[in-house]
Amino acid sequence: MDIVELYHIAEQEHVCHKPKRIRCCSAAGCQSSGSEVIKQALVDAIATAGLTQEIEVSSVGCLRFCGHGPLIATDPDDKLFEQVTVADASAIVASLQGEPCAVQPCDPHQPFLQDNCPLCWKIAVGSILNELKRTSQWGGMSRSTMLSTS
């Protein structure tokens, strides 16, 4: 498979999506905080509002702010909501229709959410190294060595 084929697959996926999307973190931290219940509340709120043709809800991997889960991200407005509860579902859905949202989104300028955050990269690289070691695909430096380098 080459890059052209990957772009073609990505385009096909993009065309299949509804115009608006709610991404519900289903990584371990958010799941342990009840993200599956939140996801169902979002699906129910969309159905109640009659917006099933316009908005989809998808389970996704880690949204990078694990200690503040459950996390919900909305597209196309690219907002991230933290510590979401079932009671927040209808307000988040309404916000995608342009209504004021009573639920305050995260500050996207928090250092941990920035792509250039050194701690984020060290955590991500450390996780990758641990997984590679676990699957015996790589036997290089230890995670502690990696985390001590800048």
pLDDT for res 14: 72
pLDDT for res 141: 46
Query: Where do you find CATH 3.40.30.10 in the chain?
Result: 3-95
Range name among 7-16, 51-60, 105-114 with the lowest pLDDT average = 105-114
Please write the tens of the pLDDT for every residue from 40-90: 999 999 999 999 999 999 999 888 777 888 999 998 888 999 999 999 999
pLDDT band at 23; cut points 50, 70, 90: very high
The pTM for the full model equals 0.67
pLDDT for res 2: 83
Region 3-95: CATH code: 3.40.30.10
DSSP the chain: --HHHHHHHHHHHHHHS-SEEEEEE-SHHHHHTTHHHHHHHHHHHHHHTT-TTTEEEEEES--S-GGG-S-EEEETTTEEE-S--GGGHHHHHHHTTT---SSPPP-TTSGGGSTT-HHHHHHHHHHHHHHHHHTTS---S-HHHHHH--
Q: Would the pLDDT of 131 be above 90?
A: no
To the nearest whole number, what is the mean pLDDT of the chain?
79
